[in-house]
Structure 1
Amino acid sequence: MAFNTGLSGLRAASVDLDVTGNNIANASTVGFKGSKVQFGDLYANGFLSGGTNPIGDGVRVQDVKQSFGQGNISFTDSGLDMAISGDGFFILSNNGETRYSRAGQFGIDKDGFVVNNQNMKVQGYTADDDGNLSGVRGDLAIETGNLAPRRTTNLVTDLNLDSRQSVLEQQVRSFSLPSSAFAGGEYRFTYSDGSPDYGVGPIANPAPPAAPVSAREIAEQITLAPGVNASGTETVTLASGTPSAAEIQDPDFRFRVGSIDLSNLTEVNNLQELAEAISNISDNSISAKVNGDTGSLEITNGSGERFDVEWGVGNNPSSTETSVGAISISSDRNVDGIVTVSGSNQLQSEFDNTLPTPINAFNPIDQRTYNHATSTKIYDSLGNTHEMTQFFVKEPSPGNGVGQSQWSIYIEIDGEMVAGTDQQPYTAIFNQDGQLESINGNVNGEIIIADWVPKDPNGAPNGADGPPADPSSVVSPIPLPANSSAFVLDLGRATQYGATFGVNNQQQNGYTTGRLSGLDVSGEGVIFARYTNGQSKALGQVALASFNNTNGLSPVGDTTWVESFESGQPVIGAPDTGTLGSIKASSVEESNVDLSAELVNLIIAQRNYQANAKTIETSDAVTQTIINLR
């Protein structure tokens, strides 16, 4: 009896040592859950009755129970590492077998799937192409390719138009003078609105052989005066029929415009074709035409820089002409006069003799013809960026200005008017409270832009989707996937208060292509991809599982468990819902083994083993005494 009792104690103590040693060995294993041996005593009993022997038969191991208590959470430098704070297990697919784990050391395999260190695929709720999470569970995957561009289909502009603005009325003087009229000149502009005089010049007139001041330089000085705009051009005019058709057709004909050599013009046969060749040179500020009245060739540099024209047959052109400058000047109604301080008085005389012309025509490059403007970027179907500008012009109020205000809206993309506003602007009506009533009768305040042709920097169509075949068929909102460049401008939140013009918010739903730049995981287990174009998109959501009887799970190694009859079926859901815990990103759950306690348990198990061995040793000694009796 004592032998069996001691032997059972040895077996139990050995199991205790094994379990304690396993706990100590996994003290640093991520997601490991420590175990504890549970013992029970042994007593002999009979069928339908209890045993009558009060002496027990020893001890047995009733169960090795795991402790699923929360382990410490530590931070890592991996964005896909996850720790569960609270109840639940990660769901893993091991080639079709479902396993459960608390170890959240995850990465990406060669196919883009989120996996653990044993290449088991993490299960979760997948997302569609727009980042909308579905209720469908599957293998979580990370799209490592470029994010496809998305065209703009909706632009919301929330702004306030200043009701204190006045209706624009302008009077403009416009005239032109040769550059020679300004040589050595000094001028003073005077203003009717009380602004201080502004002096221009003196404009230098260098002595020969120095080149005269270019038209560009003169125009730049004049434009500095408030309320005055000036532009300069330089032109070379060749006499009628110069050069001749015979010269042009000669193989040795040479023609140079400034620093640009137009030699070997094999496909140019006459003056008109020469003018076209000059206009097509890379410097697009140079243009040429044949004057229909005089038959002369006129070559103009729109930048206002001086240049020479040389031509002839052979290596040494025999004819040379130098450009002559011209200055075009316009001034608004506030410019009261021009006083000549020195030099020619032609500028003052021309100003005095030119009657002001009343104008109110919108011009996107003239800030005097609109009250407010705001710009934003939009995107075509190829992800190219385009600049869209909205212009707002205060108009006379309908109904004699009682209870309503009216504004005109012009829209420009990349310097070209769209939405038909080059012919007729949109009309916005505001009520007495400054709220938008309608735009062209649309109470939603929406403008459908269905005539935009995306173009490249050279002004040619860039290959992106263009306007729909039937612009009238476009509806708001634009159905997805979109198949044209049409989009909706939503001004429904616009106001007209007595406050400074300001854009409160401006959002559009397009973007260019982007590369994956990083991953973020939310507390709900949603995996977000961040891209270089500033966009982010949900790629999926980690799923968690819980069990009614967690201790019923069967451990199968690799810090994973499988469902058993005792555990019951899993309850699966999103993190931080129901009884499921939340996700801590860039973190792992450490082993819940208390190393100090385990070392004490190791000593206890060792003492128990030694004590049970002593029981056997003592029983052996007693038995040997009996055997030695004579």
Structure 2
Amino acid sequence: MSFYTSLSGLQASQTDMSVISNNLANVSTNGFKKSDASFADVMASSLSTSPTKMIGSGTVTKSITQDFGQGSMKQSSSALDLAITGDGFFAVKPNADGTQVNFTRAGSFQVDANRYVVDSNGSNLQVYPVDGSGAVVATGLDQTVNLRLPETSGTATATSNVALGVNLNSNSTMPSGSFDRFDPTTYNQSTATTIYDSNGNPLTMTSYFVRKTAADTTDPTSTSTWDVYNYVGDTELTPTGGSSPVTMTFDSSGALTSPTTATSFDPFTPGSSSAAQGISLDLASSTQLASPFNVASRTQDGQAVGQLQGVTVNDKGMVVASFSNGDTQALGQVALANFSNPKGLRQLGNGYWASTGVSGSPTLGSANTKGFGSLSSGMIEGSNVDITEELVNLIAAQRNFQANAKALDTSNQISQTIFNLRS
């Protein structure tokens, strides 16, 4: 019997060393949770066996359970690298259209070729859908959706109204010669305004200001005038029912007396679009004061289609995309799952776990709510393996193995002695 007792000890020590070796092998694996082997003694007894004379029959592996303690935190430069501090798991789907859901603590996510947010194994991160205001509209594991980043935002709108509020220096001199936009000596100032065509393409509208007459400072009723030439690219804009340029008139105090309403221009067709476009220019807030030229206000009502520029994830797990046109869009809230008994989860490899009858069904929630930990963006949870602790455990397991091997050798020697007895 002692032979088999020592053999069970050897097997238990071998199992312990295998578990420890696996922990050490995954010391750099993100989201890895170390395992602990537990053992129990074996007793063979019957009703007739005296409780004071019972001898054990060795040991068996009782369980190999995972320790879901917090792993080390590593800082990252990616907003899609997520780490859970406390309880909870990310829910991911290995197949975009499948129903299988796995759970992981490895939160290193990236964007694939189809703009889906996936982990290092290509599984889709699950989020709760939200409405336009960012409010969650559905909960539950069966209602989560794959997180996908949109390519654009908004609808292209052609510019139809431009408003400029400028100050023209009352001390400016009148240029000599006819206006030539390629000759800066023929105009006093210019300013460029970005407008958009019907496809959302940016165009440059340039306004050139040329002083024509100066007011008589001795006459309070005297006025001064400026001509404004407007171009979109190489196309000169012509006022509807009139001719270019637009004439601005100021009184002796520098207040604009005309035009006091927006000036409409004949439609033109930009080279980047096939649709004709009409524009009006409002200069009503302009002034003529003894100070340098400046643009006090500039507005236009066109809009380009916004291109995705970045994505952020807040501490509640809300994923928000930002676009080049200034739009922001909530895309979903990261779904977290928890279990009544995480140690009952089935390991699948690649940092994945699956629920079992021992773990219980997953409870879904979100970060910073009851039963769930906090979520950090730009962080990755590493392994919770302590190298020093594992090496000490490995030495202890090795000593246990050597001790059981020695006991086995002693049992063998005793058996050999008995076999060598002669009558």
- For residue 138 of structure 1, report the CA deviation from its aligned partner: 2.6
Does the 8 Å contact 1:527/1:540 carry over to 2? yes
1:156-305 residue pairs with structure 2 within 5 A? 220=212, 222-223=214-215, 225=217, 228-231=222-225
Instruction: Give the distance between the partners of 1:135 and 1:608, measured in 2 at CA.
Output: 54
For each residue in 1:78-126, what CA deviation from the matched residue of structure 2 results, as whole angstroms up to 9, or x when unmatched?
2211100111001111233221110111112222222111111111112
Does the 8 Å contact 1:140/1:540 carry over to 2? no
1:122-521 residue pairs with structure 2 within 5 A? 122-128=125-131, 131-136=134-139, 137-149=143-155, 220=212, 222-223=214-215, 225=217, 228-231=222-225, 331=251, 365=259, 415=263, 512-521=304-313
- For residue 562 of structure 1, report the CA deviation from its aligned partner: 0.7
Instruction: Give the distance between the partners of 2:374 and 2:226, measured in 1 at CA.
Output: 70
- For residue 415 of structure 1, report the CA deviation from its aligned partner: 4.3
- For residue 71 of structure 1, report the CA deviation from its aligned partner: 0.8
Does the 8 Å contact 2:89/2:105 carry over to 1? yes
SS at match of 2:108: coil
For each residue in 1:11-63, what CA deviation from the matched residue of structure 2 results, as whole angstroms up to 9, or x when unmatched?
00000000000000000100000011111111112369886643211111111
What corresponds to 1:486 in structure 2?
Answer: none
SS at match of 1:118: coil
In structure 2, give the amino acid aligned to 1:135.
A
* TM-score (norm. length: structure 2): 0.69
- For residue 518 of structure 1, report the CA deviation from its aligned partner: 0.9
In structure 2, give the amino acid aligned to 1:222.
A
- For residue 330 of structure 1, report the CA deviation from its aligned partner: 7.8
C-alpha distance 113-51 of structure 1, shift in aligned 2 (>3 A): farther
1:27-46 residue pairs with structure 2 within 5 A? 27-46=27-46
* TM-score (norm. length: structure 1): 0.48
What corresponds to 1:449 in structure 2?
Answer: none
Computing the radius of gyration from Cα coordinates, the structure with the larger value is 1
For each residue in 1:181-222, what CA deviation from the matched residue of structure 2 results, as whole angstroms up to 9, or x when unmatched?
xxxxxxxxxxxxxxxxx9999999xxxxxxxxx9x9996452
RMSD: 4.5
1:85 aligns with 2:91: no
What corresponds to 1:569 in structure 2?
Answer: 361
SS at match of 1:576: coil
What corresponds to 2:295 in structure 1?
Answer: none
Q: How many residues matched?
A: 343
1:121 aligns with 2:124: yes
Instruction: Give the distance between the partners of 2:131 and 2:44, measured in 1 at CA.
Output: 65
C-alpha distance 201-104 of structure 1, shift in aligned 2 (>3 A): closer
What corresponds to 2:16 in structure 1?
Answer: 16
In structure 2, give the amino acid aligned to 1:148.
G
In structure 2, give the amino acid aligned to 1:522.
N
1:522 aligns with 2:329: no
What corresponds to 1:55 in structure 2?
Answer: 55
C-alpha distance 202-515 of structure 1, shift in aligned 2 (>3 A): closer
- For residue 608 of structure 1, report the CA deviation from its aligned partner: 0.6
- For residue 530 of structure 1, report the CA deviation from its aligned partner: 1.2
Instruction: Give the distance between the partners of 1:220 and 1:620, measured in 2 at CA.
Output: 119
C-alpha distance 533-3 of structure 1, shift in aligned 2 (>3 A): same
1:580 aligns with 2:372: yes
Instruction: Give the distance between the partners of 1:7 and 1:615, measured in 2 at CA.
Output: 9
1:594 aligns with 2:375: no
1:610 aligns with 2:402: yes
Unpaired segments ≥5 residues, structure 2: 159-169, 177-185, 189-208, 228-234, 278-299
C-alpha distance 92-199 of structure 1, shift in aligned 2 (>3 A): closer
Instruction: Give the distance between the partners of 2:175 and 2:17, measured in 1 at CA.
Output: 103
C-alpha distance 225-585 of structure 1, shift in aligned 2 (>3 A): farther
What corresponds to 2:183 in structure 1?
Answer: none
SS at match of 1:110: coil
For each residue in 1:570-621, what CA deviation from the matched residue of structure 2 results, as whole angstroms up to 9, or x when unmatched?
1101111111112111211010000011011111111110110000000111
- For residue 140 of structure 1, report the CA deviation from its aligned partner: 2.6
For each residue in 1:122-167, what CA deviation from the matched residue of structure 2 results, as whole angstroms up to 9, or x when unmatched?
1111234665532153333323422123879xxxxxxxxxxxxxxx
Does the 8 Å contact 1:554/1:561 carry over to 2? yes
Does the 8 Å contact 2:213/2:226 carry over to 1? no
Instruction: Give the distance between the partners of 1:558 and 1:203, measured in 2 at CA.
Output: 75
Does the 8 Å contact 1:287/1:301 carry over to 2? no
C-alpha distance 456-54 of structure 1, shift in aligned 2 (>3 A): farther
What corresponds to 1:276 in structure 2?
Answer: none
C-alpha distance 574-151 of structure 1, shift in aligned 2 (>3 A): farther
Picking from 328, 331, 334, the partner of 1:542 is 334
C-alpha distance 60-141 of structure 1, shift in aligned 2 (>3 A): same
In structure 2, give the amino acid aligned to 1:542.
V
In structure 2, give the amino acid aligned to 1:110.
A
In structure 2, give the amino acid aligned to 1:147.
S
Picking from 352, 366, 386, the partner of 1:560 is 352
SS at match of 1:142: coil
Does the 8 Å contact 1:200/1:221 carry over to 2? no
Does the 8 Å contact 2:152/2:307 carry over to 1? yes
SS at match of 1:57: strand
Instruction: Give the distance between the partners of 1:604 and 1:35, measured in 2 at CA.
Output: 16
What corresponds to 1:71 in structure 2?
Answer: 71
In structure 1, give the amino acid aligned to 2:154.
A
In structure 2, give the amino acid aligned to 1:114.
V
SS at match of 1:17: helix
C-alpha distance 517-46 of structure 1, shift in aligned 2 (>3 A): same
SS at match of 1:515: strand
Unpaired segments ≥5 residues, structure 1: 153-197, 205-213, 234-281, 290-299, 305-327, 336-361, 367-411, 417-452, 465-507
SS at match of 2:410: helix
C-alpha distance 363-56 of structure 1, shift in aligned 2 (>3 A): same
In structure 2, give the amino acid aligned to 1:99.
N
Does the 8 Å contact 1:516/1:532 carry over to 2? yes
C-alpha distance 607-512 of structure 1, shift in aligned 2 (>3 A): same
Picking from 96, 101, 107, the partner of 1:98 is 101
Does the 8 Å contact 2:174/2:211 carry over to 1? no
Does the 8 Å contact 1:454/1:462 carry over to 2? no
Instruction: Give the distance between the partners of 1:218 and 1:539, measured in 2 at CA.
Output: 50
C-alpha distance 44-303 of structure 1, shift in aligned 2 (>3 A): closer
In structure 2, give the amino acid aligned to 1:138.
T
In structure 2, give the amino acid aligned to 1:60.
V
In structure 1, give the amino acid aligned to 2:61.
V
C-alpha distance 606-455 of structure 1, shift in aligned 2 (>3 A): farther
What corresponds to 2:164 in structure 1?
Answer: none
Instruction: Give the distance between the partners of 1:202 and 1:90, measured in 2 at CA.
Output: 70
SS at match of 2:310: strand
% identical aligned pairs:
33
Higher mean displacement: 568-577 or 20-29: 568-577
C-alpha distance 415-541 of structure 1, shift in aligned 2 (>3 A): farther
